[in-house]
Chain A
Amino acid sequence: MLTLTDIHAGYGRTSVLNGISINVPRGQLVCLIGSNGAGKTTTMRVASGMLPVQSGRLALEQQPLDGLAAHHVQRHGVSHVPEGRRVFPSLSVLDNLEVGAYRRARFGLRAKIDDDLDRVFGYFPRLKERRQQLAGTLSGGEQQMLAMGRALMSRPRVLLLDEPSMGLSPKLVDDVFAAICELRSAGMTMLLVEQFAATALGVADYAYVMENGRIVLHGTAQQLKGDPAIRDAYLGKAH
C-alpha cells in the first residue's frame, strides 16, 4: 500500500539513506529496526514528506507522493507520529485532537469529529479525563497517547509510528503496544520504528533491518525472530 522504492535522501550534503526500499502492505504492521543513527527516523520523515527525496519513489497505492509537501502527503492519508511526540504544548488535549482532524473539520464536518473523538478516547481513556488540560503539562506517557490519538483523528490510511515507547515506563510501554495491537486488529496499516525489537517483532507481520542507511535484511517477523544474527544484534532488548 505504502511503497518506498530505492530512496536516497539526506540533510544538506550528507546523504543518510542510500537506496531504501520498503513495502507496507494494506492492513499489515511492518516494523523497522536498526541501531541508533541507522536512518530509521530519516526514513519516516521521507515517508511523510517532511524530508524531500534526492531520488527514488514514494507512493501510496497508485498515487505518487514524492515531491509533495508534508501537508499534502497527510491529505492523501499518511499520518506520522513523529519521534519525540511533539504535541502542541499551548493547546489543550481536545484542541490537539481537533487540529489532528484539521482538514475534515475545516470543511464543516464537525459532527463527524465527535465519532473520532469517541474512538480515540476508547483507545486512550486517560485522554478523556485530561481533555481540558494543556498538552504541555501532560506526562510523557500521556503525551505519547495524545500524539497517537491526534494522528488517528485524520482517519489515516497509513500510520507511521516513530519510537512510540521511547522514554516510557514498562507499564506504559505495554499500554502503547496494546493500543498498537488493537489498531492492527481494526485493520490499520502501520509502519513502526521500535527500539524494543523483540516486542515489536512479537506483534509485527513483516520487518526490515537497517544499517547505515541501507536495508540489510528483511523478512516475516517469524523468520527474523528465529535468525541468530538478529537475536545477537537486536533482540537483547526486550522490556
Chain B
Amino acid sequence: MQIVLQLCISGVSLGMIYAVIAFGYQLTYVTSKTLNFGQGEALALGALVGLSLSSWIGYWAMLPMVLLFGLAQGALVERLGVRPALKTRSEFGWIMATIAIGIIGKNMAETIWGKDDLKFPSPLPETPIIFGDGLRVMPMEILVLVGALAMMLLIELLSRRTLVGKAVVATADDREAASLMGINTGSMITLSYGLSSAVAALAGVLVAPLTLTGASMGVSLALKAFAVAIIGGLNSGMGVIVGGLLLGIAEQFTAFYLSTGYKDVPGLLMLLAVLAIRPTGLFGKTVIKKV
C-alpha cells in the first residue's frame, strides 16, 4: 500500500507537467485549429533561458522574465510560421513550419548552451518531506503541482473575466463573427500562441530541477503531452488534467513493476485505446450548433 501511494505521488508532478503542456496545445487549437509542434523546443528554451537568468537575477525574479520570453517566442512562431501558411490556405504548411521553427530553436540552443545536459539548481531544499510513516515528497514536486495548476487556473480566469479573454473565446467560437465585432482575430491567435509557449517555457523551468536541462529535454515531454491532449480532448481543460495524471501515474507503475525501459508504453497504449473508443477524447465535447 505504501509503495502504491508513493508511486502515485511521484506520478502526479510529472502528470501535471504533461497536463500543462497539453493545455498549451489546446490554447492554440481552439482559436486557430492549429498546434505548435515546436512546443518541446519552447519548453527547452524556457528552461535554458531560465537557467541563465536565475544565476543572474535569482530564481523568483527569473519567472516573470521567462513568461515574457515565452510570450514573445510563441508570437514569433505564429507570425513567422503559422500565419503565412494559413494565408496561402496551405492545409499542412503550419505543421512543417512549426516543426521547422522548433528545429531552428533547438540548434540555436545547442550553439548557446552546448549539447551537454546541464544541472538546474533547485530553488527549494532537496531533502524530501516525510509524511505519515515514510511517504517521501520532494518540495520541488509540490512546486510543480502548484505551479502547473496556478498557470491553468490563471489563464482560465483571464479568459472568463477580462474583455480580451472573452474576445479570444469569441474568436475560438466563430472567427468570422468575432471579426464582425471589431476584434482583430489575427492578434487573438497570436496571443494564444504566445500564451501557449509561455506555459511551455514555465513548465520547462518547473520541471528542469527534477530532470536534466538541455536543448532536447522537451522532445519526449511534448510528445507525451500531445498524447495527453488527444486522450483528454483538444477542447477540455478537465480532460488534460485527468489525462496527464493518468499517464504520469501509469508511467511510474510501469517503471517500478516492469522496467524503466517500458516507461513510454502506457502512454501509447492509452492513446491507441482512446482513439479506438472515443476519438474526441475522454472529455471531448462534440460541439452542438443550434440552427
Contact = CB atoms under 8 A, between A and B. Distances in A.
A102 B179 CA distance: 11
B117 interface: no
Contact of A102 (B174, B183, B288): B183
Given A99-B167, A102-B183, A140 B173 contact: no
Interface stretch (A2-10, A84-92, A173-181): A84-92
Given A86-B174, A99-B166, A102-B167, A80 B180 contact: yes
B158 to A, nearest CB: 14
Contact of A70 (B172, B179, B288): B179
Interface in B147-186: 163-164, 166-167, 169-170, 172-174, 176-185
B192 to A, nearest CB: 15
B180 A74 contact: yes
Contact of B182 (A86, A87, A102, A136): A102
A106 B291 CA distance: 31
Nearest to A104: B182
A150 B181 contact: yes
B182 A154 contact: yes
The B interface, classified by DSSP as helix, strand, loop or mixed, is helix
Contacts of B290: 89, 136, 138-140, 143
A193 to B, nearest CB: 15
Contacts of A89: 173, 287, 289-290
A69 interface: yes
B220 to A, nearest CB: 33
Contacts, number: 83
Interface residues of A, number: 35
B233 to A, nearest CB: 15
A88 B180 contact: no
Contacts of B291: 84, 140, 167
Contacts of A96: 170
A93 to B, nearest CB: 12
A76 B89 CA distance: 28
B181 A100 contact: yes
Of the candidates A50, A79, A89, A151, the one having the most CB atoms from chain B within 10 angstroms of its own CB is A89
A231 interface: no
Contacts of B288: 136
B184 A71 contact: yes
A95 interface: yes
A195 interface: no
A90 B156 CA distance: 13
B37 to A, nearest CB: 26
Interface string B250-291: 000000000000000000000000000000000000011111
Contacts of B170: 88, 91, 96, 99
Contacts of A88: 169-170, 173-174, 177-178
Contacts of B164: 106
Contacts of A237: none
B27 to A, nearest CB: 15
B176 to A, nearest CB: 6
B179 A154 contact: no
Nearest to B180: A80
Nearest to B173: A88
Interface string A22-62: 00000000000000000000000000101000000000000
Given A86-B176, A138-B290, 4 more contacts: A69-B184, A87-B177, A95-B166, A151-B180
Interface of B: 163-164, 166-167, 169-170, 172-174, 176-185, 287-291
